[in-house]
Structure 1
Amino acid sequence: MAEEKKIPKFSDLPLDKNGPHHNAWGLYGPKDQLGTLNRLTSPLVASTAHAEIQTGTRINLDWPLDAQHDLPFFGRQAFHKQVYQKKPRVVNDDVWTFNTQSSSQWDGLRHFGYQKEQVFYGGVTLEDIHGEEGGSDVLGIGAWAEKGLVGRGVLLDYHAWRTRKGMQHAAFETKGITVDELKAVAEEQGTEIKFGDVLLIRSGYMVEYNGLSREKIDSLRQQQPLKFAGVEQSEAMLEFLWENFAAAGGDHPSFEAWPTQKEYALHEVMLAGWGMPIGELFDLEALAAECQRVGRWSFFLTSKVCNVPGGVASPPNALAIF
């Protein structure tokens, strides 16, 4: 049974007329910390599991935590692992140190706010987060850990679609993937988009990244500003995301074209306006191959973020189940 769409129309935004553009503040109450994850209701999860899990095939969507080695983009700290023996016993422990956005990640709601207005989802401020006495855990990603991101995932394989059409694509240049292109991908795949889906876009970033030398990656890291292809900043894209999805992400480092080509960034509206999780650097190569093999680009998605009160982001710990 399809989930009933119980949201205002895109044209009704902003809901809080005293807040920033396109906001949906107050839709789920004044203290809500789940945003569009409220769309992932228990009936939706149950019906999705019944419809999508057919073979039990499971596909990992997480890039290794150390995939970027010591060269992450955006100046983020690299993953470091220390394994040590607890002498004299034959016992090992390990310590991991890493930036939560140096590999596959969900951006949480305290990651990116409205830049001009300087507020996060629901009007939370930097002072609320960092306050003199240590602030609070408000909008921390640990709030998502209670139920996780679980529901119907859909892959739009833009990379395969544009390759078949002979279209050029440069992952390290600012280029906007349009709504019309994403809809064309879905149509060619025969993929029906349903309300409450989790959208994953295979842009081709991983394919291009994996073909680069260390020297080239280091050179690209030095560019200012960094440039990445991603979904376009537009009213049409915002409406497409708002009207359909509980969360959205892909294999690219910024999800949206970077730097933004508008006076706003999608990150502002999605995270601070709607509370919509943004996924970045997901490894979608094995998923794309399985989708192509079975001729189906929808699946049961389970993602359990780390239970860190006040956390900004988290590895997705995600599986696609067919």
Structure 2
Amino acid sequence: MADKIPKFSELPIDKSGPHHNAWGLYGKDDQLGTLNRLTNDVVKAASSEIKTGVRIGLDWPLDAQGDLPFFGRQAFHKNVYQKPPRIVNDDVWTFNTQSSTQWDGLRHFGYQKEAKFYNGVTLDHIHGTNGVEKSNVNGIGEWSKQGIVGRGILLDYHEWRIKQGRDHTAFETSSISCADLKQVGKDQGTEIKFGDILLIRSGYMDAYNKLSRSEIEDMRGKQPLTFAGVEQSDEMMEFLWSNFSAAGGDHPSFEAWPTQKDYALHEVMLGGWGMPIGELFDLEALAAHCKKEGRYSFFLTSEPCNVPGGVASPPNSLAIF
């Protein structure tokens, strides 16, 4: 199927649209973007990754950031209450869908200059403003119908860069290069297959878990927030476009933040290609198991919440070996 998509050098598809867009590749009304790469045959082939039955959850607890989530997002609240006179409990959860592990959906981040989301959707379509009828177009609920299911690979950049003797500061703007990620895969012996779901362990979770509350408070107050992440470059975009159905990692911004170019990967991946971006995945147990087994590929299953018109969702994800 890789030969059925345009080469990166052939983007943009819609010449009247923003840079590097793939609008119309799967039809003008498509809401799946690169998830169209997860065909039945691709998913069936990915099932061969299941050999031992070991399952590892990849979701950070919904309340992991406590009352101090970054980017000004609302904290998770849980209300457990009894329903007397019966010995019965119910609970109510209230949370921002991006305050813990998340898939960024196609309503989250559009092209900033052009003010357009995937396939040309505008803020008016989403909010029902300026005489445009409000709709659920590009909502996260579309992804729940078949889930995000296929062959996952882990590129353990954190483990690799320690072996290289390199410093890495998760809370300062710095870029993980495309060349380094390719070298990580090579050194791990990990083959990349078209349609793979990419997960990158940057070292963020390891660093975050060592912080005190006061340190988190100080960082949270910075403007702008700064994080290490993948580089903004043609090489990185070509690597992502040419190989993957979705991409994410353990860091809160996926890409180096703030962006080091006049564009953000978020707008190209989400707004241009419809490629899900995963953030704050808890990859520590996964990395330990991959290292133990000497295998960095697995069957990955994720079921975003079925919320029509939703912006983002916890992934509800499992890696199965």
TM range (shorter): over 0.9
Preserved contact between residue 175 and residue 255 of structure 2 (Cα < 8 Å): yes
Normalised TM-score (structure 2): 0.98
Matches of 2:170 and 2:315, distance apart in 1: 22
CA–CA separation in structure 2 for the residues paired with 1:5 and 1:295: 30
Mapped to 2, the partners of 1:188 and 1:10 lie a distance apart of 26
TM-superposed CA distance for 1:135, in Å, is 1.3
| Structure 1 residue 4: Cα displacement | 4.6
Q: Within 2, Cα distance between the matches of 1:53 and 1:6?
A: 28
Q: Is the aligned partner of 1:48 residue 2:49? A: no
1:101 and 2:66 aligned:
no
1:211 is matched with: 210
Aligned to 1:166, the other structure's residue is in SS state: coil
User: Contact 1:5 / 1:195 at 8 angstroms: preserved in 2?
Assistant: no
Which residue of the partner structure matches residue 282 of structure 1?
Answer: 281
Query: How does the TM-score come out when normalised to structure 1?
Result: 0.98
Matched residue SS, 2:236: helix
In structure 2, the gaps of 5 or more residues are: none
Does the aligned pair in 1 maintain the 2:125–2:134 contact within 8 Å? Answer: yes
Please tell me whether the aligned partners of residues 300 and 320 of structure 1 are also in contact (alpha carbons under 8 angstroms). Answer: yes
2:123 to 97, 114, 126: 126
Aligned residue in 2 for 1:11:
9
| Mapping 1:299-318, distance limit 5 Å | 299-318=298-317
The answer on whether the counterparts of 2:79 and 2:92 sit within 8 Å (CA) in structure 1 is: yes
CA deviations over 1:141-180 (Å, ceiling 9, x no partner): 0000000000000000000000111100000000000010
4+ residue stretches of structure 1 with deviation over 2 A? none
3-state DSSP class of the match of 1:139?
coil
Change (3 A) 1:134 1:222: farther
- 1:5: how far off? 3.7
Q: How does 1:169-188 map to 2 (within 5 A)?
A: 169-188=168-187
Name the % identity.
Answer: 73
Once the two structures are superposed, residues 273-298 of structure 1 have per-residue CA deviations (whole angstroms, 9 ceiling, x without a partner) of 00000000000000000101110000
Which residue does the alignment assign to 1:239?
238
Contact 1:148 1:305 in 2 (8 A): yes
Alignment-derived partner of residue 82 in structure 2: 85
Q: Over residues 107-158 of structure 1, what are the superposed CA-to-partner deviations in whole Å (9 max), with x where a residue is unaligned?
A: 0000000000000000000000001487110000000000000000000000
Q: Secondary structure at the match of 1:183?
A: helix
CA distance, structure 2, for counterparts of residue 229 and residue 95 of structure 1 = 35
Q: Is the 8 A contact 1:60 1:320 kept in 2?
A: yes
Deviations 1:239-260 (A, max 9, x none): 0000000000000000000000
Equivalent residues of 2:2, 2:242 under 8 A apart: no
**Aligned mates of 1:165, 1:181 — CA distance in 2:** 11
Q: Which amino acid aligns with 1:71?
A: L
- Which residue is equivalent to 1:32? 30
> AA paired with 1:16?
D
- Which residue is equivalent to 1:254? 253
Whole-Å separation in 2 of the counterparts to 1:126 and 1:152: 34
Tell me whether 1:298 sits opposite 2:297 in the alignment: yes
Cα distance in 1 for residues equivalent to 2:3 and 2:244:
11
| Structure 2 residue 145 is the aligned partner of structure 1 residue 146 | yes
Residue 263 of structure 1: SS of its match in structure 2?
Answer: coil
Structure 1: runs of 5 or more not aligned: none
Aligned to 1:76: 73
Task: Give, as a single letter, the amino acid of the residue that structure 2 aligns with 1:263.
Answer: D
Measured in 2, the distance between the counterparts of 1:134 and 1:107 equals 24
Using the alignment, how far apart are the partners of 1:105 and 1:270 within structure 2?
15
Distance 1:97 1:135 in 2: 24
- The equivalent of 1:116 in structure 2 is 113
Whole-Å Cα distance in 2 between the matches of residues 4 and 99 of structure 1? 36
Question: Alpha-carbon deviation of 1:47?
Answer: 1.1
1:230 equivalenced with 2:226 (yes/no): no
Distance 1:4 1:18, change over 3 A: closer
Separation of aligned partners in 1, 2:307 and 2:38: 21
SS of structure 1 residue aligned to 2:4: coil
